[in-house]
């Protein structure tokens, strides 16, 4: 394989990896606070993409407002999902709330089919990200969107870590994640903190969905399923509950997926199966994930 | 009167954990709540702080009904507590543990924090100095940046009390603060509790398993056994009450 070819793949790998990381963070944050896998998380990707699609196509909004609208609406939907489907079940056994999450996922997907129709739609692209626009660096041709995704991810990651480690809200999130009951008894309004967590996770999923649409510019109501699954796997692989773990897990998963397709084209048909092999391997060999810690069951 | 509990009953399914519990606390009092293991002492705390809503009865704080109110709101009205088994945020620093309790008083939000505006920085600075001040008063200012989980046991106890004080309580509930301590440490801790009571003008309700630990500092003692109050009065009266001796030691059988 030519060196330039390799770098081409590497650029793609980094791009896909950071996309996975962004979405995996949402899974891991919610799990950290509620010990819940929010299976509806992937479907938020799809909703955000459709909001941009309609914002551009139907309401002729400029790019910046339609993206902001998609992020805000998706964050609001995340809060509504928590409020209506998870909060009433907070004291129920964990399996109950997990099933509720699967239910929300099916609901959103099928609502999408009814409202948006099953036929894939072309995702609108800003001129800067048009499929022709690319940069050539030392013989390696990198599309603008491939380059933009890791940059956006890094910026958002920086903001997120700042919120979690340097603000009072972030401190309250960590306190709630460590000990729900004690945090309440220290005067923290846990409902507000949980809502904030869902809003942040959903906003990140929205950005992920919009960038997904720009990278693979065809959207359909089930487009969130596979990325959702893979990012969930990335979060488990990295060590669920841990933000750094989700980033590393997403990154490794994305890079590995691209590299397998690049180096072993004969098995490229199994690229989606690869993530599940990682999931099974993680659960068998190291259930706490790469940098997850052993968590004592809450008493 | 600061706290008034009337006819409180707490039932879990078929199990009555506490029944017909009446207690009122006057401002500035230190009352001991004692009883054998499983008597229902911690359940009383959980009901007062809103962790459980009582099956029957009413709880008022300074004349205000707080029965079944959410724990964070109860805390904001001025009741703070510690736990029988230490429940610090062990991976956060000592300082952060205190800041968490100050958190709900803040006005600035995430937006202010991200833009680092003047309002945020002023509030942040005052919170830091307030937390440092509190830590100094319990002699923990030297370890402010250490992880809470790395402190020796006795210091963790003091930190937990300090974290409760940071919510600016009127009423402090201490759940077996001397658990796991030897007699000398227990005496030291009781002196510490007496001191913060004076300094912060607190009313204290103190759970203790061993009677002699609370004898010295409690004005009144309430004895709970199998969820029912079996005796109340001054430490002297209670320690001579045959029902109390029976509850702790069992009945002597005469052949």
Ranges in chain B, pLDDT < 50? 255
Question: Model confidence over A30-80: pLDDT tens digits?
Answer: 998 988 999 999 999 999 999 999 999 889 999 999 999 999 999 999 999
Distance (Å, whole) CA B175 – CA B179: 9
User: Mutation test of the interface with chain B: which of A159, A178, A185, A192, choosing the one with the most B Cβ atoms within 10 A?
Assistant: A185
ipTM of the prediction greater than 0.95, yes or no: no
Q: Contact at 8 Å (CB) between A7 and A140?
A: yes
Q: Contact at 8 Å (CB) between A198 and A206?
A: no
Instruction: Supply the pTM of this predicted model.
Output: 0.82
Q: What are phi and psi of A292, to 5 degrees?
A: -80, 155
Distance (Å, whole) CA B48 – CA B60: 9
In terms of DSSP H, where are the helices of chain B?
A: 41-48, 71-77, 94-102, 110-115, 118-137, 153-165, 183-200, 211-215, 235-240, 242-249
Question: Model confidence over A108-157: pLDDT tens digits?
Answer: 999 999 999 989 999 988 877 876 677 887 778 888 888 899 999 999 99
Distance from the Cα of B99 to chain A's closest Cα (Å) equals: 8
pLDDT of residue A293: 63
pLDDT of residue A294: 56
Measured between CA atoms, the residue of chain B closest to residue A178 is: B89
pLDDT of residue B53: 93
Tokens standing for residue A257? 């997926």
Question: Model confidence over A71-84: pLDDT tens digits?
Answer: 999 999 999 999 99
Extended beta strands in chain A, E state = 121-122, 134-137, 140-143, 218-219
Extended beta strands in A80-137, E state = 121-122, 134-137
Distance (Å, whole) CA A200 – CA B137: 38
Q: Is the pLDDT of residue A217 over 50?
A: yes
Q: Tell me the range of A96-105, A278-287, B97-106, B203-212 where mean pLDDT is highest.
A: A96-105
Measured between CA atoms, the residue of chain A closest to residue B113 is: A167
Q: Which residues of B touch A293 (CB under 8 A)?
A: none
Question: Model confidence over B150-161: pLDDT tens digits?
Answer: 999 889 999 999
User: With an 8 Å Cβ cutoff, are A182 and B89 in contact?
Assistant: yes
User: With an 8 Å Cβ cutoff, are B72 and A187 in contact?
Assistant: yes
User: With an 8 Å Cβ cutoff, are A185 and B99 in contact?
Assistant: no
Distance (Å, whole) CA A216 – CA B207: 63
Confidence band of A295 (pLDDT split at 50, 70, 90): low
Measured between CA atoms, the residue of chain B closest to residue A176 is: B89
Domain ranges of chain A: 21-224
Local structure of A299: helix, strand or coil: coil
User: Would you call A272 an interface residue with chain B, using a CB distance cutoff of 8 Å?
Assistant: no
User: With an 8 Å Cβ cutoff, are B103 and A188 in contact?
Assistant: yes
Q: Which residues of A touch B110 (CB under 8 A)?
A: 163, 167, 169, 196
Q: In what order do the strands lie in the sheet with B228-233?
A: B79-81, B171-175, B203-208, B30-34, B220-225, B228-233
């Amino acid at each position: 394989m030519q060196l330039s070819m390799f770098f081409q793949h590497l650029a793609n790998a980094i791009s896909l990896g950071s996309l996975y990381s962004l979405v995996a963070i949402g899974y891991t944050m919610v799990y950290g606070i509620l010990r819940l896998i929010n299976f509806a998380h992937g479907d938020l990707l799809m909703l955000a993409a459709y909001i941009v699609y309609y914002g551009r196509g139907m309401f002729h909004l400029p790019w910046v407002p339609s993206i902001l609208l998609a992020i805000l609406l998706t964050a609001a939907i995340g809060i509504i999902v928590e409020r209506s489907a998870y909060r009433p079940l907070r004291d129920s056994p964990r399996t109950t709330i997990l099933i509720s999450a699967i239910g929300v996922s099916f609901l959103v997907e099928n609502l999408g089919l009814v409202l948006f129709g099953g036929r894939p739609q072309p995702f609108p692209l800003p001129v800067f990200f048009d499929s022709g626009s690319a940069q050539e660096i030392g013989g390696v041709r990198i599309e603008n969107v491939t380059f933009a995704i890791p940059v956006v991810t890094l910026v958002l990651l920086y903001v997120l870590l700042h919120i979690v480690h340097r603000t009072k809200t972030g401190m309250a999130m960590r306190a709630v994640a460590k000990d729900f009951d004690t945090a309440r008894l220290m005067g923290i309004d846990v409902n507000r903190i949980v809502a904030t967590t869902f809003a942040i996770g959903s906003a990140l999923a929205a950005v992920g969905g919009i960038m997904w649409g720009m990278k693979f510019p065809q959207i359909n109501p089930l487009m969130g399923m596979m990325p959702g699954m893979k990012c969930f796997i990335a979060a488990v692989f990295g060590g669920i509950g841990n933000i750094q773990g989700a980033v590393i897990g997403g990154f490794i998963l994305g890079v590995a997926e691209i590299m397998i397709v690049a180096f072993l084209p004969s098995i490229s048909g199994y690229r989606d199966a690869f993530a599940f092999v990682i999931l099974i391997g993680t659960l068998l060999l190291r259930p706490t994930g790469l940098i997850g810690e052993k968590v004592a069951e809450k008493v | 009167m600061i706290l008034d509990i009337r006819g409180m009953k707490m039932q879990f399914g078929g199990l009555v954990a506490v029944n017909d519990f009446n207690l009122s606390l006057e401002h500035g009092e230190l009352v001991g709540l004692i009883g054998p293991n499983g008597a229902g002492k911690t359940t009383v705390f959980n009901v007062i702080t809103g962790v459980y809503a009582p099956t029957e009865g009413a709880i008022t704080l300074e004349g205000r009904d707080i029965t079944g109110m959410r724990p964070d709101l109860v805390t904001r009205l001025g009741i703070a507590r510690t736990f029988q088994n230490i429940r610090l945020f062990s991976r956060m620093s000592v300082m952060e543990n205190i800041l968490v309790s100050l958190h709900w008083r803040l006005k600035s939000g995430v937006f202010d924090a991200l833009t680092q505006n003047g309002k945020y920085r002023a509030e942040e600075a005052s919170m830091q100095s307030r937390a440092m001040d509190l830590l100094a008063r319990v002699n923990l200012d030297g370890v402010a940046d250490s992880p809470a989980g790395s402190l020796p046991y006795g210091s963790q106890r003091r930190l937990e009390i300090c974290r409760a004080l940071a919510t600016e309580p009127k009423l402090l509930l201490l759940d077996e603060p001397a658990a796991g301590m030897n007699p000398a440490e227990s005496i030291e801790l009781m002196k510490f509790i007496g001191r913060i009571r004076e300094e912060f003008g607190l009313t204290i309700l103190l759970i203790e398993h061993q009677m002699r630990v609370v004898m010295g500092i409690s004005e009144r003692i309430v004895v709970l056994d199998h969820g029912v109050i079996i005796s109340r009065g001054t430490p002297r009266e209670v320690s001579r009450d045959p029902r109390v001796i029976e509850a702790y030691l069992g009945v002597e059988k005469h052949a």
